[in-house]
Every structure is written in C-alpha cells, then in structure tokens.
Chains A and B, each alone.
Chain A
Amino acid sequence: MGLGDIVKQQQKALTEPQEKQTEEIVQLVGFVVGEEEFAVPILSIQEIIKPIEWTRVPFVPDYVLGVFNLRGNVLPLIDLRKKFKVPAADIDENTRFIVMKIKGEDVAFVIDRLTSAIRIPKKNILPPPDTYSNEDDIIEGVGRLDDGRIITILKVDNLIKREEIVPEK
C-alpha cells in the first residue's frame, strides 16, 4: 500500500461519517383526514390542541370555518376535510386542531386524528406521482414508511393562500 492509498483511505474514513450524517432524516407528524394519512414537518407545528369553540366569519370559502381564541390571539381555523373535498364528519374525541406557522402567521387546521411522529430518510420521499391531483401545489411528496404505510407529505406554506380567501376588489 502506497502512501497515497493510505491518505485516500484516511480521507474516506473522515468523510464517510459525514456522508452518513448528510443523509438527512426528515421528522414528520402524521395525521388522518378522511381515508388518507398525511404528514407535515414537525418543526412547522406550533402546538396541537383539542377542539374549542370558534366564531364564523362571513364571505370566506367553506373550508375556512372561522376564527378562535388561542390564549388571547385570534387564529383562523381551516377544515382540512372541506379543503381536500372529503365528506364532512362530526367532531369526536379524536379530532384535533393542529396549529402551524404559515408565512409567519399561526393558523389552525382541523384533522380527524393524529397517528404518530415519523422519522423518514429524505431519499424515501418521492415527488408526487402524476396521478395525484396537485393543482394548488400543496403536496411536497409521498413517503413510504418501513411498515409499508404510504403518507402524503404536505407543503405547509401552500395550504392556504390569502388570495383564495379574501376576494380582492
């Protein structure tokens, strides 16, 4: 073994663990809306709360349920069932409001139930297949979990858009 080889080997040894580190793990939180399981990055979630009373707001699309008071702040409440055009369902003991930060603003989303926290290597996330209807560009990709579950990962920033909610004059 020449000196050059040794140096190469050492370099390889040095860089390899870094490569492993750069193999990014994405941390997600999974939840169910309708029949499908979705996930959003764990860092975009501010908090998850049990349903509380909200106030209706006029002139908004049906998926905007209204606003509610979260410790003195007024937050919009979005029904993901209506947003994803899944038939409506009653609020039950599994229903949760997920509060996420979108463009610097807290917004809450109604989901049917939480599933689990998910760690998934980035390479296991594929871009959404063409068969998905992804007009609003709200799907980041599709992830396959070790147990075979398929989850749809959402682009949090695109979940609601002001121009769709408030009619411009």
Chain B
Amino acid sequence: MDDMMELLEDFLVEAFEMIEEMDQDLIELENNPDDLDLVNKIFRVAHTIKGSGSFLNFDKLTRLTHHMEAVLDKARKGELRITPEIMDVILESVDAMKAILEYIRDNGNDEAPDVDIEPIVKKLDAIVNSEGVGSSSEEKEEKKESKKIGNLNLDEITVDNIDDIDVSQLSPEELDAVLERLVEDINTPPEEEEKEEKKEEEEKKEEKEEKKEVTPADKKEVAKAAETKPVSKEEAKQKVKKQLINAKEQTIRVDVKRLDQLMNLIGELVLAKNRLIKIYNDVEERYEGEKFLEELNQVVSSISIVTTDLQIAVMKIRMLPIGKVFNKFPRLVRDLARELGKKVRLIIEGEDTELDKSIIEEIGDPLVHMIRNAIDHGIEPPEERKAKGKPEEGTIWLRAYNEGNMIVIEIKDDGRGIDPEAIKKKAIEKGIITPQEAENMSDKEAFMLIFKPGFSTAEKVTSVSGRGVGMDVVKTNIEKLNGIIEVDSVPGKGTTFKLKIPLTLAIIQALLVASQEDLFAVPLSNVIETVRIVEEDIYTIEGKSVLKLRDEVLPLVNMADVFEIEKILEPEKYLYVVILGLGATKIGLIVDRFIGQEEIVIKSLGEFLKGLPGIAGATIRGDGRVTLIVDVASLMKLAKETHNKKLVTDSLKEAKKKKEKPEDYVVMIVDDSAMDRKIMRQALEPLGVQIVEAKDGIEALNLLKQNDVDAMLIDIEMPRMDGYTLAQEIRKYNKFRKLPLIAVTSRATKADRVRGVEVGMNEYITKPYTKEYLQNVVRRNLGL
C-alpha cells in the first residue's frame, strides 16, 4: 500500500510539472502552429500522463488524455492545423486534466464529480473526425498492417482470447505489444479502436527496457487479471529514471520547512555573531596591546565571514527563478484576451531573475491582478486601437531585473494609459480626496489614488476585473513584502507599474541611528546618503523646512518629531541627516547620532504591536537589546505630515533650556558617609547651586532619572553599587553622555585613577581636599 502511495505521489508531482510546461508549450504552439518539435513534445506529455494514469487505474483521466492525444497525434502528423478554436478545446481539456489531477491529489481517486469530461471528449472527437478529413481510410489500413509484431496479429488479440496465447513463449517485444493491445482493448470502446491504433513507434522503444524487470510469469498473471495495466507506469518511471541518471542526480528535493528551520538557525547565528563582535570591541578597549587580542580578532572575523557566507548560501537555496510565476501568464493573457475580444501579445523578460521562495509565493496574486487590469482597462479593443493609429495587437511587457538589493518587476502596456484628471474626479466622487487636495496633487500622486481602498476605475463590472477587490489589495500584498509600487502613465500611450521588492525578507543591512536616546534601524536599501550639516544649512520655504544639498532641495524633518520622542538632548553644533529615498521621493531625516551599519535579523513585533505607523519590526542587537526597524514607506508618510506641521528650527529650540544663574544648576553628591556628604555640601553652598544627595549608586541612579542634574560628585567605595559601576551605568544613557562626573575618593593609586577614566569619570579628586579646590573643579565643569 505504501508503495502504491509513493507511486501516486511521484505520479502527481511529475504530472503537475509536466502540465505546467505543457500550458506554456501550447501557447507557444498557437503562435507557431507549424513547430513540429513542439507538437511532439506536447504529445509526449499527454501520452505519458495517459500511460501513468491508466497504470494507476485513473480511468477518467485516461479517457480524457486519450482523446487529447488523438487530436495532438493528428497535429504532429501534419493532418491537422491548430487553429485558435482547436486550441481552446485543447486548453479546456488541459484544464479538465488539471482539475482531475487536483481531485486525485486531494481524494486519491479520479471520480472528480465536478469535472464533466464528456462534452470535451465530444469536442475532441469532432476535431479528429471533421478536421482530419485528410487522413484517408487507406492510411488507416496501412497502420493496421503495421500493428503486427512478429507472427502475431495484434488486432486479433482481445481480453477474451488472451488465454489462447502462450505468453511465456513470446519475445519481450511481443509480450509488450500484446499487453499494450490488451490495455487498449479494455480502455477503448469499440468505435474508438481505430484511432487508438496510431500508437507511435517510440513508445514501444521505451517500453523495451522494462522487460528485464518483470518475469514472463508475472506478466501472465497480470494479463489474466485483465484489469491491471502495468505497461505505461513502468515506462513513465523508467523515463524519469533515465532523466535522473542523465543529470547524475545533481538535485534533491528538500522540504521547505527544513530550509525555514535552517534560516531561523542562521538568524540566531547572526545575532550571536553581532554579539561576539560587540564583546570583542569591549575587550579590545580594556586589554589594548595584549597578545591574545590578535588571536581573538582572527577567530571573530573568521566566524563573521563564515556566518555571512552561510547566510548567503542558504538564501540562495531559497531562491527560485521568477519564471515560476511568470510561466502561468501567457495562458492567462491568451484566455483573457480571447474572452474580451482583444488582441494581446505578452513579452516576458528576465524570467531567470531569482527571488526568495516566500516572496515568489506572495507575488503571484498581485501580478495576476495587475495583468488582468492591464488587459481589461489598459489595452483597447482592436477597432479602437486601429482608429488611434496603433497596431491592432496590444503588447504587455512583463520584465524582471535586479537593482541593488531589490528586484524590480515591471508590468508595462501600450494601452490607453491613465488619465490623472479622470482619476482625481473619480476620487472626489468617492470621497477619497477633497477637491482642494486634488488641485495640489501631482500626476504621480494622482496615479497612486488607484491603490486606495474603494477605488475602481472600471466603468462597467466585468468578470475579469472590477469585482470590488481592487488595487488596494495589490498594494497591501506588496507592502507586506516591504516592497514599493510606482506607477507611470502617459494617456494614450500606456502605463508602467514597477514593483520593487527586497530580495529576501529575513535578514537585511541596516543603518543604525539614534534619535534622542532611542535607536532605530533604517533599511540600508532606502538610505541614499548620510550628511553632516549645521543649522545654517536649513532654509525655510513657504513655512516648511528644507535642506539644500548640492543642486537639490529636500524636505527636512527631525526624526524625534516624526516619532513624537521627548527631546532631552541639547542640539550640538553639527546635525546629522539621513537622506531617505523611496521611489521618486527623497527626504532628509535629522537624527542625533549615527551608530553604524549592521546586518540585522527582522523579527515581528507580534500580533499586538505589528503595523505601528513607521515601524516594520524589531531586531535584537549584539548587546541583547531590542532595536526597532523603520518602515520606510510608512515613515515617509508620517514625515510628510510632520513636515507640513513643524519647522525643524523650532524643534531644535525645544531642547535648549537656558541656564544662566547658579541656582539653575543642580549638583548631586553621592557618598555613603553622612559626614562626607556634609563636608561637600558646605563646600559647595557658597557657589549658590542646588544640591541633591544620594547614599549609594542605586539611589543616585534613581534620583538622576527624576531630577535634572548638571554635575555629580561620586565617592568610589559605597554599598549596593560603587562609584565605578555607577559611572558605567550613567554612561550607558545617551543623555548623560556629557554629564560631568567627578570622583571624590581616598583611593589614590594610579590604577584607581586609570579605572576612573575607563568607566567615564571626568575628574578625580583625592581626599582630603580644600574647599576652594572642590569649588573650582565644580565651577569649571558647570561652565560657571
């Protein structure tokens, strides 16, 4: 039983693959009806499926393919010319074949009650009988003659008289022919026998090989059973086997789940690698010049290289040529064009371009939708095209190519194009935009309106498009893949859609930036460049901030404003700007710091948080912290709103707080001894600054978060958290990067001082000290 299941599975995989190929070949055949090689190829596919099908007792499938085969046989003998009408019938039978195969896959038998093959069979027969007038009865006679094998007249053999023949005496070739004859006899109703006789020679050749595996005795039994049809399945298997041997078994099938698992593991590995690099950097700072560093460096970099290579290798395994998706379109275009009475030619380019499997799976539906639209709305009916002086036959280009980290899929037609004014009018009618908005809209922006939910340009609803699921679904699907859609159209000339999709979804290169204290990862594919500017480079035009960069004027916004982050850092002399690009739009985004470029693994924020404006997901950094990943498309939208509302210059002022008098300053004293705290307090009081006190590091940290502190005096030896640790903790916060930290301690060795500098202390005062000295140090650090 298991063997049988395995056979069935093999059969299905093979059959689906062959049918896919057949679909394309048929379309090609329609264009080159005289290509005999093509007809032969198609014939062989039909024949193989018929053979395997009959072996597995799929009578319905066998009957259908048998009749198809008859038509194709005529065509390949030149007795029949494939007209579009005939092609319709053939394609219809291919569809029925697919439906039956799907039913087999799901149910294990070919009853397929929904598929009625009789009308198709009739049509096929009609073609064979009527069109094939050329095939005279003489020819048929000849063929009957040729059906003799050895000294047997095959035509005389039937299921009823098989017992009269001594099977064990037959040569393998004869036996084979006899068996085949029996299969025919069982499968074919008498009136069809004649057509069936046109078994081609090559089939027999293939079957010879099978003999070695089956003993005559076995065969006899099989023949007696008279319902089993062992011949053709063996033949099909043999064929596959041959192919495999030819290819020297260079490929294996792998469950996608295993690849996904592998990809997840590599994701973890990348995270660990990032962490290792971070640790190495920390260690390097502390043990500069030590010999083991060199060795560690070598290990870290080789692990890093191998991880990257490994990742690329697995990514490549997951890559499939986009042809896998494109292949179904010739058929789609042909059917639609015929249905709508249009003439359409489809030109496919770049079908070898590779994409991640998960993307290939997602991209199919949007593409189908867009091609349907192009035929239905884009390409005009032949008369209209003629009247416009265009060729009657419309053309659709489907093109794929690589562009940096992205793959671009272009769907272009030479149809009537999109009229931006008509789109705007429609959008106003549907309440999607206001008339004022329409006025300020560029053509490109107007084209984008077709992606809004509830927008459909079809004047009449056809079965092809305009059923409510509009282009907004396409957009959602593409955005799910982090992709971008661009539309360009010239009324009367045609429309071009460009889909830009990242090659892979799981791991990307990102630029890490800090806005205030929050880190963000910006996909590097959208970063055009980074620049350092001064406030004077910012201009205000019509109440909006812009940056003049070479000969371009770019909208400029502060990232902190876009994400509504509280401003705590005072702006520095230089401002750092990331120039983001998305399609034709560019924008300058002010950040507070560039952290660097890193390879990041994208993780979802989960059901509850996904889809937040401007955020695509999160990644885990080398230090174990989570960093949010920016969704560039959504961020651009937010940035546009911010750009209309807020001037960058105003935003920069927000963080600047004026401090003039000594009372505006706060100094924190951290010491576990009340006595020492008192001494310091007394020393500082004459300065007029405000003073807060903490007993240990932990208390100090808490106080620091609540109070606006301008300098800290820190004792080193304290319970719970000592001064070194405290300084280290403080320096972890971006906003305390510049907070003056002054160690006040009785530990006076050189090692202590070095340690103090290491953890980020600005000054080191040893006890005992004079009042004046302490005052001076504090004053200097506050800038008083």
Contact = CB atoms under 8 A, between A and B. Distances in A.
A56 B625 CA distance: 11
Nearest to B603: A74
Contacts of A165: 608-609
A55 B608 contact: no
Given A67-B605, A73-B603, A165-B609, A57 B628 contact: yes
A162 B624 CA distance: 26
Contacts of A58: 563-565, 612-615
Contacts, number: 78
Contacts of A60: 609, 612
A56 B518 contact: yes
A104 interface: yes
Interface in A65-95: 66-69, 72-76, 90
A20 interface: no
Contact of B612 (A54, A57, A103, A107): A57
Nearest to B702: A90
Given A55-B626, A59-B613, A67-B618, A72 B606 contact: no
Contacts of A75: 606
A69 B625 contact: yes
Contacts of B625: 53, 55, 69
Given A90-B702, A105-B607, A55 B564 contact: no
Contacts of B605: 57, 67, 74, 76
Contacts of B608: 76, 102, 105, 107, 160, 162, 165-166
Interface residues of A, number: 30
B31 interface: no
B620 A54 contact: no
A118 B610 CA distance: 35
Interface residues of B, number: 28
A148 B200 CA distance: 93
B611 interface: yes
Contacts of A56: 518
A75 B609 CA distance: 9
Interface string B596-635: 0000000111111111111100101000111110000000
B659 to A, nearest CB: 27
B268 interface: yes
A59 B564 contact: yes
A104 B604 CA distance: 14
Nearest to A64: B609
Interface in B550-607: 563-565, 603-607
Contact of A74 (B519, B614, B618): B618
A162 B610 CA distance: 9
Interface in B43-79: none
Nearest to B607: A105
A81 to B, nearest CB: 17
A26 to B, nearest CB: 26
A28 B375 CA distance: 62
A76 B745 CA distance: 43
Contacts of A107: 606, 608
Given A58-B614, A90-B702, A162 B603 contact: no
A157 B271 CA distance: 32
Contact of A72 (B271, B607, B610, B613): B271
A160 B606 CA distance: 13
Given A54-B626, A58-B612, A58-B615, A69 B620 contact: yes
Contact of A57 (B604, B607, B615, B702): B615
B566 to A, nearest CB: 10
B369 to A, nearest CB: 22
A141 to B, nearest CB: 25
Contact of A162 (B271, B607, B628): B607
Interface string B649-668: 00000000000000000000
Nearest to A168: B611
A76 B606 contact: yes
Contact of B609 (A72, A76, A103, A104): A76
Contacts of B518: 55-56
A78 to B, nearest CB: 9
Interface in B510-536: 518-519
B613 A55 contact: no
A106 B605 CA distance: 11
Q: Which has the most chain B C-beta neighbours within 10 Å: A60, A72, A105?
A: A72
A52 to B, nearest CB: 9
Contacts of B604: 74
A55 B512 CA distance: 15
Contacts of A166: 608-612
A57 B604 CA distance: 13
Nearest to A167: B613
A74 B615 contact: no
Nearest to B517: A56
B612 A68 contact: no
Contact of B628 (A55, A73, A105): A55
Interface in B682-733: 702
Given A55-B518, A67-B605, A90-B702, A74 B626 contact: yes
Contacts of B614: 58-59
Given A55-B518, A58-B615, A67 B607 contact: no
Contacts of A162: 607-608
Interface centre among B606, B613, B618 (most CB of A within 10 A): B606
A72 B620 contact: yes
Contacts of A76: 605-606, 608-609
A66 B609 CA distance: 9
A74 B563 CA distance: 20
Interface in B267-285: 268, 271
Most buried by A among B564, B603, B620, B626: B626
A76 B615 CA distance: 14
B333 to A, nearest CB: 35
A57 B620 contact: no
Contacts of B563: 58-59
A59 B603 CA distance: 19
A93 to B, nearest CB: 10
Nearest to A165: B608
Interface string A13-54: 000000000000000000000000000000000000000011
Nearest to B267: A72
Contacts of B612: 57-60, 166
Contacts of B702: 90
Interface in A145-169: 160, 162, 165-167
A110 to B, nearest CB: 16
A157 to B, nearest CB: 12
A32 B626 CA distance: 28
A57 B609 contact: yes
A66 B603 CA distance: 15
B609 A67 contact: yes
A104 B615 CA distance: 22
A68 B625 CA distance: 7
A66 B268 CA distance: 22
A90 B706 CA distance: 11
A151 to B, nearest CB: 26
Contacts of A69: 620, 624-626
Contacts of A160: 608
Contacts of A64: 609
A104 B608 CA distance: 11
A96 B91 CA distance: 66
A58 to B, nearest CB: 4
Contacts of A66: 626
9 contacts: A53-B625, A55-B626, A55-B627, A55-B628, A60-B609, A66-B626, A74-B605, A162-B608, A166-B609
Given A105-B606, A162-B608, 18 more contacts: A55-B518, A55-B618, A56-B518, A58-B563, A58-B614, A59-B564, A59-B612, A59-B614, A60-B609, A64-B609, A67-B618, A68-B626, A69-B625, A69-B626, A74-B604, A76-B605, A103-B607, A105-B607
- The 7 nearest A-B residue pairs measured at CB: A58-B563, A55-B626, A74-B618, A105-B607, A74-B603, A69-B620, A69-B626
